[in-house]
């Protein structure tokens, strides 16, 4: 999972140092930190800057990020949320494999269009491809993974994962779809044909209504403020066809799902009405 951004609404009054930093940072790489819960994000940033640069102010540090690409990459690695792994939250994948994917294939005339929203380095998308091959082997499956971080998109396209990434993956299924090479797991060409990755801003992208049968947006919105979270859920819901499913993180919930045309099906699955 990783950073997404959106346009920041106009604010009245003078900006404080943190807001000035966020505005400057958005100009550098398009990521709007003001859409995230401030307390958590500000602590993370100030800790990083103090550890590396002592008493340097946030405004001064923003100037550094404009000219020092290596420093920018280190900063992104620190504050972006690219925590992921193959088969993360196994109980969710069991529900998808045993119930959701077969239902979507049947109701979608054996075609299942999927979107991994905020896909980070691709672990979620490749896991979905692997369980789709098991659950609905004759269906036409397509999976799009999007992420705002171009570095993560390039990494996702390689389909290469560490042993740590695969720590919760079922051994037999992993071996069926990934090959161990030089200490890393590499996705098979069969899986790679099912997935594609694009750089995209999750909070600006606006897919056509009914574009997808399945949307996964897991472990992302907990970092957003409530207005941003609810608006995102609305757009994700709008991208689903009737009967499609939105899957959120195991500890996440959609606020007022009926407002978005969603019906709770399980603690983390919502069906488009």
166-220 pLDDT, tens digit each: 998 999 999 999 999 999 999 999 999 999 999 988 878 889 999 999 999 998 8
Confidence of residue 10 (pLDDT cuts 50, 70, 90): very low
- Is the pLDDT at 13 greater than 60, yes or no? no
- Residue 14, pLDDT score: 59
Closest CA to 219 of 95, 75, 99, 123: 123
Residue 98 falls inside a structural domain: yes
This prediction's pTM: 0.80
User: Looking at the 3D structure of the chain, how many domains does it have?
Assistant: 2
Residue 42 falls inside a structural domain: yes
Q: Among 25-39, 44-58, 236-250, name the one with the lowest average pLDDT.
A: 25-39
Could you please report the per-residue DSSP string of 54-76? TT--HHHHHHHHHH-HHHHHHHH
Helix (H) or strand (E) segment spanning residue 262: strand 262-266
Residue 3 falls inside a structural domain: no
Same domain for 257 and 135? Answer: yes
Rounded average pLDDT over 100-115: 97
In the beta sheet, which residues pair with residue 186? 160, 179
Copy the structure tokens of residue 261. 């045309």
User: Any residues with CB less than 8 A from the CB of 137 and at least 6 apart, and which?
Assistant: none
Residue 65 falls inside a structural domain: yes
Confidence of residue 73 (pLDDT cuts 50, 70, 90): confident
Residue 6 falls inside a structural domain: no
Domain interval for residue 55: 17-79
Same domain for 42 and 164? Answer: no
Same domain for 143 and 260? Answer: yes
Same domain for 57 and 169? Answer: no
Copy the structure tokens of residue 169. 């993956």
């Amino acid at each position: 999972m990783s950073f997404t951004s959106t346009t920041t609404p106009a604010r009245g009054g003078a900006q404080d140092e943190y807001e000035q930093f966020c505005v400057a940072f958005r100009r550098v790489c398009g990521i709007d930190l003001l859409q995230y819960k401030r307390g958590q994000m500000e602590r993370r940033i100030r800790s990083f800057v103090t550890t590396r640069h002592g008493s340097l102010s946030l405004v001064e540090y923003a100037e550094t990020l404009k000219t020092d690409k290596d420093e920018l990459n280190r900063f992104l690695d620190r504050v972006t949320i690219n925590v992921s792994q193959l088969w993360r939250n196994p109980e969710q994948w069991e529900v998808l494999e045993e119930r959701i994917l077969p239902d979507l294939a049947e109701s979608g005339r054996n075609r299942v269009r999927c979107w991994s929203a905020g896909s980070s380095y691709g672990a979620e998308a490749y896991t979905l491809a692997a369980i789709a091959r098991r659950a609905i082997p004759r269906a036409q499956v397509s999976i799009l993974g999007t992420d705002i971080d171009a570095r993560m998109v390039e990494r996702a396209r390689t389909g290469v994962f560490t042993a740590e990434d695969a720590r919760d993956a079922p051994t037999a299924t992993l071996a069926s779809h990934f090959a161990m090479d030089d200490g890393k797991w590499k996705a098979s060409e069969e899986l790679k044909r099912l997935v594609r990755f694009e750089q995209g801003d999750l909070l600006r992208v606006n897919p056509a209504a009914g574009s997808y049968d399945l949307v996964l947006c897991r472990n992302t919105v907990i970092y957003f403020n409530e207005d941003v979270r609810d608006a995102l859920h609305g757009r994700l819901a709008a991208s689903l066809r009737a009967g499609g499913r939105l899957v959120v993180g195991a500890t996440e919930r959609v606020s007022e799902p009926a407002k978005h045309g969603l019906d709770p099906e399980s603690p983390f699955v919502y069906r488009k009405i």
